[in-house]
Amino acid sequence: MKSLIFAAASLLFGTIYALPSKTASEPFLTQVDNTTWVLGNEIWNVTQQQIYGIKLMYKGRDCVGEAVGHYVSYNGAASNLQWTSASITKRGTYHGKQYIDVSFTAAEGDMHWVIFSGLSGAYQYFVNHALPTLGEFRTLWRLDNTTFTKGRTNIKDEELPPLSEYLPGNKVQDETWLKPDGSGYITKYDFTAWSRNQDYFGVYGGGFGSWYINAGKDYYNGDHLKQELMVHRESSTGDAVQLNMIHGTHFMASSSDVFPDGKMWGPWLWYLNDGDKQDAAKRAAEEFRSWPYTWLDDEEYHSRGTVRGKIMLSDGRPASNAAVFLGDNDPNKTSLDMGSTYYYTAYADRNGNFEFSNVRAATYGLQAWSNGSSIADVTTSLHQNDVTVKKSAETSLGSLTWEVSTKEKLFQIGDFDRYSYGFLHGGAPHQHALVASCPANLTYIIGESKPLDWCFGQTYLGNWTVRFKAPAASQSAAPNLIVSLAGYSSGASTNILVNGVRVGNMTSGSSLLPSDPCLYRSATGAGEWHLLEYSFDKALLKEGWNELTFNMVRNTTWHGFMWDSVVLEW
């Protein structure tokens, strides 16, 4: 089919646009017919049709080849944007370089390509006008699989699996196959990475590299724990996929957002080179220094201010290294699920001071939670609404007090930080079915066992038992069991027992425990965080040794509970 498209296109406008001009230095947009345009500069050009950018000429080669090319879509591949027109909305000169801003218009909004003379690539951004309520929105390149053979994120850099290993008879689930030699699994989700930690990512090989550099990340949905699929091989065609998940849902329990007219994703830089990662890293550093981009002509984009403050715990300690988040004001969603507007993440320093710079003018809600280290025992979170940011102004929040629990702690397993870090396999490199290496039965003895004796996830029928000593019952309130889950994947049910008496349950279908795909999509550090609390009669505890048991009574392969921390207090 792709060959037929190219043949028809060639008959329409020949090969004049196949190669970048070696003499012209001005970026350009040329309309061929009602559904075909060519855009680029003296280094590269793209032939854009109604949906797909079908041809990318760079260094004398079509980098798309028989692959699908460039497109924009939402809710997976269910809805590809269809361009009805294209125009140059602005021409200008910036630091001696000419540029044009090309806008492709669809019913849902406008996709912009900002093309500078002399730049190997283009800046891109999308402005919403009529996107529906959705979870997933993305731009992407699907490129020639013989040229782009490797994938790189900030935590993974290796060959993409050869298409020959994707055997239909070995498929075990969504985009996941048993390797032909039985040594493990092939899955696109192994190329997952933390969205807000990215420097540059893309596909490369054979003297060519195609990279995304997202210097500004305020248009992303979610908080510090937002992770997304970045690159992979398309199993049906072998295409090398460079995936720009600007609004993603791959590891979330839910994400259903309504976007205001004018919501802007980007700009980011799509960058071409010869596959040199040092060059890409250097370019990324330049982009991060240059953000927010002064060449962009948009008043709201440049209406930004600063937020500063200090967080102290109610027990007098500074909130050292706490995760701090600016998101929806007076929210009705978790911080990971937020995504309608703009979001900012930071970490406090060791004294509890934090700062957000270049924040879009608006009113936000602030949250903070433990990121481990010296406040790994803090089980509460800080919430403050009505943080107003004004253009070119500093919003000083002064000293904020974060209330912490005053109850006596009988024990804690694992740092309270919303990650599985510290447990066996917690935070290991992404790999499918790692949770299957965790035991069905486990005994953890408070005062003797270490966090590495507790595995990061529970997936098998069986009992995970905590043995702990308690003093004689006091006149205090009922004991409170806090279970902090770094993630939960459906199909599992666990009864919680204290000395053989059931005090709670964690199960699928519970409104308190929505499912996310973390454990069966290669995640090892987090999915969506869940905080569960169970109070019970203190008479169930006896002086001396006691047992807390997580008795899994229903399971599904590779599904279950990813642990963050277990705390018992009274």
Give pLDDT tens digits along the chain (570 positions).
444 444 444 434 433 344 454 445 799 999 999 999 999 999 999 999 999 999 999 999 999 999 999 999 998 767 999 999 999 999 999 999 999 999 999 999 999 999 999 999 999 999 999 999 999 999 999 999 999 999 999 999 999 999 999 999 999 999 999 999 999 999 999 999 999 999 999 999 989 999 999 999 999 999 999 999 999 999 999 999 999 999 999 999 877 899 999 999 999 999 999 999 999 999 999 999 999 999 999 999 999 999 999 999 999 999 999 999 999 999 999 999 999 999 999 999 999 999 999 999 999 999 999 999 999 999 999 999 999 999 999 999 999 999 999 999 999 999 999 999 999 999 999 999 999 999 999 999 999 999 999 999 999 999 999 999 998 876 667 999 999 999 999 999 999 999 999 999 999 776 678 999 999 999 999 999 999 999 999 999 999 999 999 999 999 999 999 999 999 998
* 425/439 Cα distance (integer angstroms): 12
Domains of the chain, by residue range, sit at 70-290, 304-402, 409-569
User: Does an H or E element contain 6, and which?
Assistant: helix 2-13
Residues in the chain: 570
User: CA 114 → CA 41, 267, 297, 496, distances in Å?
Assistant: 11, 9, 11, 56
Measured between alpha carbons, how far is residue 13 from residues 30, 32, 145, 380 in Å? 11, 7, 27, 64
Location of structure tokens 């984009």: 301
Tell me whether domains 70-290 and 409-569 share a fold.
no
Q: 0.75 cut: is pTM over it?
A: yes
Element housing 347 (H / E): strand 344-347
Report whether the peptide linkage leading into residue 331 is cis, meaning its omega lies within 30 degrees of zero: no
Residue with tokens 């969205």: 195
Q: May I ask the CATH architecture of the domain 70-290?
A: Distorted Sandwich (2.70)
Cβ pair 165, 180 in contact under 8 A: yes
Beta-bridge partner residues of 159: 150
The Cα 460–Cα 26 span in angstroms is 62
> Do residues 558 and 527 touch, judged by C-beta distance below 8 A?
no
CB 71 within 8 A of CB 148: no
Residue 281 in tokens: 């890293």
Closest CA relative to residue 418, chosen from 543, 302, 323, 522 = 323
Number of H helices, E strands in the chain: 2, 41
The answer to whether 294 and 328 have CB atoms below 8 angstroms apart is no
Spatial separation of the C-alpha atoms in residues 197 and 212, rounded to whole Å: 13
Question: Which secondary structure element, helix H or strand E, spans residue 289, and what is its range?
Answer: helix 277-290
CATH of domain 304-402: 2.60.40.10
- What would the two tokens of residue 569 be? 């207090």
Name the fold adopted by 409-569. Jelly Rolls (2.60.120)
Neighbours of 152 (CB within 10 A): 22
Q: Tell me the Cα Rg of the chain.
A: 26
* Encoded tokens for 451: 């966090």
Rounded Cα gap, residues 14 and 355, in angstroms: 55
